[in-house]
Structure 1
């Protein structure tokens, strides 16, 4: 880790008292309390977009976030020795526990409130705008084709390993889900929802999961906005929802309670629920694991792919039953 220079804190109008290394950053005691100083490896223009999103939320009254401190010149970063540094309040909390349903409901409310507050975000000049609106139908088609290609390729192979067997054994179920998801999406009001999202200028956190939810001083703090972007709020809800539902073995009562709690704040109309159903139905994790295993093999050791696929298949029937129930309520 780079040596810490107190000049960095002084640029933010802070007086350093003590410094320690932790979590790949520096935790600093200052005249304004504990601060975290860390280097970032993204362009300044991207950083400005993230800063814009956080400051917009704060202006809308949603302040439970890890805002950047600003320098004496009003910048959310400081450049020193060719490195870019940011400073944030140190949040000394505990990671949100998705096995505790009270915490899940709290997180659901936080997500809905963040989405309400996100409306109307206009980034600072010089920001590099991250826009991921409208990409799903094309992604569904592309991933569907890739799954069929991988299937044909594996079937032609003369020797199958454990992952190959799992992939082939479950292929028919998942490819049927993928086909239905494409059909539902193409017949849905997805395009109208995208237009509405563009007009309203709403954004997503895009990594809304337990690792980025900290409970500190009886507050639910949302941290690490590095992936935030213009995107349908349903994407945040989906990522959060699927992780929670795996934790509770796709419990139907809990599943509908989460959607109801979110809807009371943000609202979920029939058009949005239909798109949400298509997003849940598409076997994205099956595609992602298969694609990584057959085409990249750079994230995990080969046996880890077997473990991950077995975990996915373990939930297949429970998720299918839940999706049937969700479909009946569309």
Structure 2
């Protein structure tokens, strides 16, 4: 069943238009506006955690949660084909003078509102707090296993296979540098020192999770994407999402960070942890995992050329961000980010060699 038909059947509206907006998709229907969010199907087991955080936020004056729209069957979400879908009723949004600063301010308020959340020890399966290095290393090991499988593969490689081999050295080394940089920047210490400033974050923070109605009320969405983690995660993921979308822009990044600092000033050490997160090629590795899970016939239909263009563009944009972020932080906040010896993507002959061997068999 297609997504459009699924949503129409479960929610009883006629979908007229869908417009992606960061983390959400704005749906225009015959029953008005809705915001659609998605999450992995396994997140459905987070209901007790979500309920407890929502109840905690209910006592906050500066923030309000959007109300979930129930399906025809009275459910707050639906699951189909390993994907969770959930909707909120749309609101009349305020046109902000500086949306990036306002987003930073609201995110800081959200984090502070969760700083007194109790019972986080009961929800350790949904916690990433203190686990970044181990999680990143696990992803890198899986990436290496994927590379090894391609090297040993008998038969002709797809164009996507060749691209993954060509990119392996650069991306894997980037990930390794991210892990070492994170540890050298005092990650464990920052985890402990920032616990008082927020306990709940998002899986991948982006536009759409924070909204402002025409009266200026701050609204929070996307609860099924909540995790237990420190605030640096959301700040780093927001910067990465904006870089992926529009490239690095000093003014935009500075406005967002200024907004956050006005409400809840960042510790000097947090800027380096954020930089470590920017270094880590998480989206690239997630796409590799998704590709590896495809059946052979579907892999053969993947347009490797389009993936190469998209992913190369993202990597190039992030290279620019990684050069300019330390300069911005030093000039604006007087914090020195530990330097790294920069990586340039070398021409990897391995993919060509493996491809030649496969085609000659």
TM surpasses 0.5: yes
Partner of 1:15: none
Aligned positions of 1:1-330 closer than 5 A: 21=13, 46-67=46-67, 84=75, 90-93=89-92, 102-123=98-119, 130-157=126-153, 158-197=155-194, 202-219=199-216, 220-296=218-294, 302-303=301-302, 307-327=306-326, 329=330, 330=337
3-state SS of the aligned residue for 2:265? coil
Once the two structures are TM-superposed, the CA of residue 21 in structure 1 deviates from its matched residue by 4.1
Work out the CA distance in 2 between the residues paired with 1:143 and 1:43.
20
Work out the CA distance in 2 between the residues paired with 1:283 and 1:42.
23
* Cα distance change on mapping 1:42 and 1:277 into 2, 3 Å: closer
On the 8 A contact 1:66/1:89 being kept in 2, the answer is: yes
* Cα distance change on mapping 1:213 and 1:150 into 2, 3 Å: same
Work out the CA distance in 2 between the residues paired with 1:253 and 1:225.
29
Q: Answer 1 or 2: higher relative contact order, Cα 8 Å, separation at least 6.
A: 2
Q: TM-score, with normalisation over the residues of structure 1?
A: 0.70
Q: TM-score, with normalisation over the residues of structure 2?
A: 0.65
* Cα distance change on mapping 1:125 and 1:186 into 2, 3 Å: closer
On the 8 A contact 1:48/1:123 being kept in 2, the answer is: no
* Cα distance change on mapping 1:85 and 1:159 into 2, 3 Å: closer
On the 8 A contact 2:129/2:228 being kept in 1, the answer is: yes
Question: What's the Cα RMSD here?
Answer: 4.4
Q: How many residues are aligned here? A: 293
Unaligned runs of 5+ in 1: 3-18, 70-76
* Cα distance change on mapping 1:136 and 1:304 into 2, 3 Å: farther
On the 8 A contact 1:201/1:230 being kept in 2, the answer is: no
Runs ≥4 residues deviating over 6 A: 41-45, 124-129
